[in-house]
Amino acid sequence: MERVRKIIHFDMDCFFAAVEIRDNPELRGKPVVIGGDPKSRGVVSTASYEARAYGIRSAMPSARAFALCPHAVFIRGSFSKYREASRQIREIFANYTDLIEPVSIDEAYLDVTGNQDFKYASQIAKQIQRDIFELTQLTGSAGVASNKLLAKIASDMNKPNGLTVVRPEHAEAFMGPLSLRKIPGIGPAAEEKLRKNGLKLCTDVWGYDPGALREAFGERMATWLQKRSRGVDSREVQTSRARKSLGTERTFAKDIYDLEMLREVVRKLSLEVSAGLAKKELLGRTITLKIKYADFQQITRSKSLGDLTNSSEVVRDTALELLGVHPAQEKSIRLLGVTVSNFEEREEKKSKAAVFLEKQICFEFLN
Ligand code: TTP
Ligand code: MG
């Protein structure tokens, strides 16, 4: 029997705002908004819970936040402080496991299956919360479950300073009543399409005719929905050291011959991969295109670049170049995949990733 894994998803509570409030206690209890100047075209990075009560949310224009709550305290924020707190929490995670997958500046998955010091993963999560508070005076919330999907959803259920455990035998009961939108990967567009097909909650997928689901969403998405809606997720926690490549692929409902359609798929896949690289703070050198023909013959074409990249344009243009002018050799194609590999070394990574993240956040502030 496969060993049940113990996964913790940890996410800090209103992270940037919490750091600012910690360093300026006068802000405690007030609506605090971190982000761009409300008089500029800036956007909100995050907001304290008091500000969220007014409807203020991440990525909203700061001017709109100001209109919702003119007496909120607006702070531009100081990225170096957030970076330092992020480093501190990662150091604490490392005391409990080597298998850490940082997802963003304030969030990570931990696989603690191998930790022999604690009987239950929930004890580790609690101890991490205590350690973090002691070192940084900040709080975070944890989800404990047998896979990443359940742990991620659970960590968001009892914010702030929450701990939610989903036992393996309760996975379906946990997922059933949840909105499909709670499943990471389902954004506003997918939610809308699901809703049009009468699908709102996870249980709606369970009761949906599998053939009709495939018809409406394609085989890949249908299978994915069936699994996720029941809390099934076999993705492993991937440390950036362990990870050798990052890619995505698409099997088509109908084989495709048309070059422009194939190019469109390559563009989409490239965008997904580069978004994944950015999220995981990875930079790669080699782009690979995988082609599976209608007769199941499979080939890969690769190109290595002079520079490390996570740029969506570079990944896309390289993948399109690999697709070529007439890739099908007179044959239709049933699957395309785009993968980036040959990641930077760890030391090289630290500084570049920091620069990238800083740029990303500044971009968010400035836009
Ligand atoms: P989140 O964990 O999404 O948000 P949060 O920690 O502020 O709030 P929550 O308690 O709900 O987890 O993001 C972490 C930080 O990343 C957040 O404090 C600020 C930054 N961020 C942005 O700059 N822009 C964004 O659009 C989002 C979502 C986050
Ligand atoms: Mg957070």
Distance CA 212, CA 195 (A): 14
Compute the residue count for the chain: 367
Q: Above pLDDT 70, what percent of the chain?
A: 91
* pLDDT tens sequence across 311-328: 999 999 999 999 986 555
Which ligand places an atom closest to the C-alpha of 76?
1
What are the catalytic residues?
107
Which atom of ligand 1 is nearest the CA belonging to 59? 26
Residue 246 Cβ < 6 Å to ligand 1? no
Distance CA 309, CA 321 (A): 16
Which residues are CB-neighbours of 303 under 8 A, at least 6 positions away? 286, 287, 318, 321, 322
For a mutational test of ligand 1's pocket, the pick from 46, 153, 363, i.e. the residue with the most ligand atoms closer than 8 A to its C-beta, is 46
Distance CA 156, CA 7 (A): 15
Residue nearest to atom 21 of ligand 1 (CA): 45
Residue nearest to atom 15 of ligand 1 (CA): 15
For residue 227, the model assigns a pLDDT of: 96
Q: Above pLDDT 90, what percent of the chain?
A: 75
For residue 328, the model assigns a pLDDT of: 55
For residue 277, the model assigns a pLDDT of: 87
Which atom of ligand 1 is nearest the CA belonging to 160? 10
pTM to 2 decimal places: 0.74
Distance CA 262, CA 327 (A): 9
Q: Is the pLDDT of residue 253 over 90?
A: no
Most confident of 234-238, 286-290, 353-357: 286-290
For residue 366, the model assigns a pLDDT of: 31
Residue 82 Cβ < 6 Å to ligand 1? no
Residue 13 Cβ < 6 Å to ligand 1? yes
Q: Supply the mean pLDDT for the chain.
A: 90
CB 291 within 8 A of CB 324: no
Distance CA 137, CA 145 (A): 26
Residue 20 Cβ < 6 Å to ligand 1? no
Q: Is the pLDDT of residue 26 over 60?
A: yes
Q: Is the pLDDT of residue 146 over 70?
A: yes
Most confident of 72-81, 142-151, 185-194, 235-244: 142-151
* pLDDT tens sequence across 55-66: 999 999 999 999
Residue 108 Cβ < 6 Å to ligand 1? no
Q: Is the pLDDT of residue 225 over 90?
A: yes
For residue 189, the model assigns a pLDDT of: 85
Residue 107 Cβ < 6 Å to ligand 1? yes
- What is the largest distance, in Å, between two alpha-carbon atoms of the chain? 70
| Distances in whole angstroms, Cα of residue 100 to Cα of each of 96, 129, 161 | 10, 16, 20
Q: How confident is the model at residue 358 (pLDDT cuts 50, 70, 90)?
A: very low
For residue 353, the model assigns a pLDDT of: 44
Which atom of ligand 1 is nearest the CA belonging to 17? 18
Ligand 2 centroid vs 281 CA: distance in angstroms? 17
For residue 19, the model assigns a pLDDT of: 98
Strand partners, 287: 303, 340
Parallel, antiparallel, or unpaired for β 7-12 and 44-47?
A: unpaired
CA angle 66, 359, 310 (to 5 degrees): 130
- Which residues have their alpha-adjacent CB atom under 5 A from ion ligand 2? 11-12, 15, 106
Residue of 270 and 300 predicted with greater confidence: 270
Ligand 1 centroid vs 292 CA: distance in angstroms? 39
* pLDDT tens sequence across 274-316: 988 887 778 899 999 999 998 888 888 999 998 889 899 999 9
Distance CA 11, CA 101 (A): 12
For a mutational test of ligand 1's pocket, the pick from 106, 358, 363, i.e. the residue with the most ligand atoms closer than 8 A to its C-beta, is 106
For residue 239, the model assigns a pLDDT of: 85
Residue 15 Cβ < 6 Å to ligand 1? yes
Q: Within the chain, where are the H helices?
A: 15-23, 49-52, 62-68, 79-93, 121-136, 148-155, 171-175, 188-196, 202-206, 210-229, 259-279, 312-323, 346-366
Residue 361 Cβ < 6 Å to ligand 1? yes
For residue 241, the model assigns a pLDDT of: 62
From the list 312, 321, 296, the residue with the least C-alpha distance to 360 is 312
Q: Is the pLDDT of residue 21 over 60?
A: yes
Q: How confident is the model at residue 81 (pLDDT cuts 50, 70, 90)?
A: very high
For residue 296, the model assigns a pLDDT of: 83
With 0-12 / 13-18 / 19 or more C-beta atoms within 10 angstroms meaning exposed / middle / buried, residue 225 is: buried
CB 175 within 8 A of CB 154: no
Q: How confident is the model at residue 360 (pLDDT cuts 50, 70, 90)?
A: very low
Which residues are CB-neighbours of 119 under 8 A, at least 6 positions away? none
CB 289 within 8 A of CB 266: yes
Q: How confident is the model at residue 357 (pLDDT cuts 50, 70, 90)?
A: very low
As given in the structure block, the two tokens for residue 187 are: 């954004």
Q: Is the pLDDT of residue 139 over 50?
A: yes
